[in-house]
Every structure is written in C-alpha cells, then in structure tokens.
Amino acid sequence: MRKALAERLLAKILNWNPSVISSERPIIQAMSSFKFDEYQQFSTGTLFIESLVKWLSQFEEEEERQTAYDFVKSKLLFLSNRQVLSLVEVTYDTVIRPILIKKTAKELSISEYEIRKIFNSDEYNHQKRKCLYIGLSDGAKIDQLRRSAGLNNEQVVPTYEISKDKTDDLLSELKKANGDKHFNTIFLIDDFTASGTSYSRKDGDERKGKIPKIIQKIIDANSELYPLIDHDERVDIHIIFYIATSEAIAKIEEFINAGVFKQSPYSKIDINIHVVQYIASDTKDKIINEELQFVELSKKYIHSDIVDDHWRKAKHDEYYLGYNECCLPIVLAHNTPNNSLPLLWWTSDDHDFNGLFPRITRHS
C-alpha cells in the first residue's frame, strides 16, 4: 500500500501521464528491488521510492524535479553490498597472490611463471604466513577478505590502533607457525577513496593522513606496530583499495615518492598501491559537461555552510560539487561518500533539506 501511494505521488509531482507512468514504473521497481532499497542509512522501514518522492518534492520547479529524476535513473552509480563483496573476493587472486608469487620466485631464484613449482614450495607457504593484513576502516571488510583468501586469523587485524598484547599475540603465533620473529609484508586494506586526503595530505610543513600516521608508527620504537617488522631488513607495504579514483592515488603517491623514503629510517620501506576497481579519471568532466543542469541544481540548493573545518582541508570553492570538488555520482550501499554530489546526500535541518541517500558522517 505504501509503495503504491508513493508511486502515485511520484507521478503527481513529476506530472506524468498514464503512458509515462506505465513505462517508468518497471524501471523504478527494478532500481528499488535490485539495489536502492538496501541502502543502510535509510530510516527503519523506509524504501527508496519513499525517499525519492520526499527528495523530489523539495525542488521548486517541475523541470528541476525531472532533471533530478533523470540523473538518478541514468547517471547514478550505486555499488551494492554484493558488488563490493565481489571486489573483496577477487582481491586475493588478482592483487595479493601475484605479489606472493613474485616474492617466492625471487627467493627460489626461479621464474615467476613457474607457478606449479612455486605453489608446491615450502617457501610459498612461508611467505604467505609472513604477511600481516591491516584494515584502515570499517569498510575494509577485512573479515570477508580473510575468509575468501583462507588467511590465518592471527595475521589479520581490523585496525592499525592495536594494543601491545595484540602485537605480542601476533608475533607469538607467527613464531609457532613459521619460526619467524617478524612479518616482512604488510597489506593495508580499505574500500574506497575519491580524494585521497584522508590517507595523505599536506598540512603546513607536515604530512598528515592514515598512511603517514601508520608509517610513523612502524618506525617509532615506542609504537605497538614497531616490533612487528625486522628493522634491519626491507619491508614491503602494499596499500589496497577496492575502489579508487586516479586523483586519489596520485595524491597518495606524492607522499610515497617523496625524498623522505630515501633517508633512514624510512629507506628500508617499499610502498606500492593497488586498486581493484578504478573510477574513470574523466568522471567529473563528464558530469559537468553532460549533466550541467543537475550540477546547477546542486549549486542552487546546497548551502555554503556545508563547508566545515574538515572540508577546508581540501578544495572547497565549488562546495556544491562535494568534498574536494570531486563531483562523483556514487552511492555505496553502506553510506554515501562526501565526495559525491551533495544534492544526493546532504541533509540539513537548518535549511529544511533532505538528501535522497542521507549520509552518516564521521566528522561533526
């Protein structure tokens, strides 16, 4: 009953005739059933079509409502839980396993194409166990990665903020399994980055973000991460994103390629970045060039008070394009990135506006 009422209201606010209703109804039902209804930040019991009606009703003109609807129907990229989990499940085979094969081949002094010989070697299993996997956020789905890759539970941690007891346990179990005292490869895992600023950014003369913070912990003798590696040997750090933009990766690589890694105590750390699914680098340009009317709607309805201290850490003159002006049309099933167009997610009691996919933010 609620869904039928919402469909009638939608037809009314968009001024659809029976013919249009007939053609659009199956599209809306498909979008809802296959993906959008699973959005986790909807209020309990709320369906996508109800949120759509409420969202469209806020636009003043019928033409604006039609523009907004057309954008959602044709340009919105909604990544469902199943799609993200598919990326998690292929990560080991497409990213991690080739790294282990290459390391083992080097240790055995054979070609990395001698796959059978590598897989059957004790050295391969040894290398596999000497890897430590660290989640960079809740979105890392590190538990799913562990299960799909068949990893030992004592080489996987959900966060880089670990206790001394946990460090001791990890090393104790490693020694029992391999006789090793340290890990030699660290995988840092996360689900999504669009701007890269959460991972690496300049703040005056300092470099801040998750990656510099973790590297500092690794080289700091007072840190819980310090004992995990042998500081007399080289250590490989691999940063893996399930989804990322080229812009974000370039920003993180600025830090990786900085001269600091040629100096002690950083000089024995090798860092590489891997992305399972890239977002096309021209996404922003396409939205601005092909969906200018929707961008103008965002400019009209999104208020400048969206810019807070967190937003000021990145580009924000065109704040209506999203954090760091990324202008993405992306929604993830568990939350909407703040890099996406705010018209999709911004909710403000002060301005009586509700986003289609309301976002839960980590920043006050």
Copy the structure tokens of residue 32. 């809802």
Looking at the chain, how many residues does it have?
364
pLDDT computed for residue 133 by the predictor: 97
pLDDT computed for residue 24 by the predictor: 87
pLDDT computed for residue 2 by the predictor: 66
pLDDT computed for residue 51 by the predictor: 93
Eight-class DSSP state of 197: T
How many Å apart are CA 74 and CA 70, to the nearest integer?
Answer: 6
Q: Please, which pLDDT band fits residue 330 given cuts at 50, 70 and 90?
A: very high
Sign of CA dihedral 292, 298, 304, 308: negative
Domain extent listing, the chain: 2-75+291-345, 81-279
Name residue 115's amino acid.
Answer: I
Beta strands 206-208; 201-203: pairing state: antiparallel
Query: Is the CB of residue 192 less than 8 Å from the CB of residue 244?
Result: yes
Beta strands 77-79; 185-193: pairing state: unpaired
Name residue 306's amino acid.
Answer: I
Per DSSP, the three-state class of 229 is strand
Name residue 321's amino acid.
Answer: L
Q: Which among 223, 221, 219, 211 has a CA at the least distance from the CA of 253?
A: 211
Task: Please report the beta strands in the chain, taking only residues with DSSP state E, as ranges in sequence order.
Answer: 77-79, 131-135, 156-157, 185-193, 201-203, 206-208, 235-245, 269-279, 330-332
Q: Please, which pLDDT band fits residue 1 given cuts at 50, 70 and 90?
A: very low
pLDDT digits (tens, 9 = 90+) for 153-202: 999 999 999 999 999 999 999 999 989 999 999 999 999 999 888 898 87
Q: Rounded mean pLDDT of the chain?
A: 90
DSSP bridge partners of 235: 269
**Cα maximum dimension of the chain:** 74
Cis peptide before 18 (omega within 30 of 0): no
